[in-house]
Amino acid sequence: MHETSIVNSIMRTLEMEFEQEKLNKMKAIHLKVGILSNIEPRLLHNAYSAYHITNPGYHHVSLHIESTELKIQCEVCNHITNVKNYRFICDNCDKPSKNVIQGEEMLIHKVEFED
């Protein structure tokens, strides 16, 4: 389950970015996960729950995952299309496009802290 290593990587990134005093006030982590990222949100939540067993210092921090839509940008007309049913066809000119601009990412979108 690669979600465990993803959770470890997220926490390492936050620990590198913020000082311990700030981390102690962290209350929520918000992620954006693309449909093509090969990350299953349910499994990521499970891995995050398991992380707390060995790292109880963050047990009060909630994890929020937003799934992002799949979008392409047409190479012919530059139009941005929301991909439906994995049809990579421009809505504007009906040309196929492989230029994915959203849907492959896994981002730490926002981190909330107590006041």
For the entire predicted model, the pTM comes to 0.86
pLDDT tens string 20-65: 999 999 999 999 999 999 999 999 999 999 998 888 888 899 999 9
Handedness of CA 99, 102, 107, 112 (dihedral sign): positive
* 34 part of a folded domain: yes
Residue 13 pLDDT class (50, 70, 90 cuts): very high
* 92 part of a folded domain: no
* 25 part of a folded domain: yes
* 10 part of a folded domain: yes
Q: How many domains does the chain have?
A: 1
CATH code of the domain covering residue 48: 3.30.2320.50
Does the pLDDT at position 115 exceed 90? no
Which domain range does residue 24 map to? 3-68+103-113
| Mean per-residue pLDDT of the chain | 94
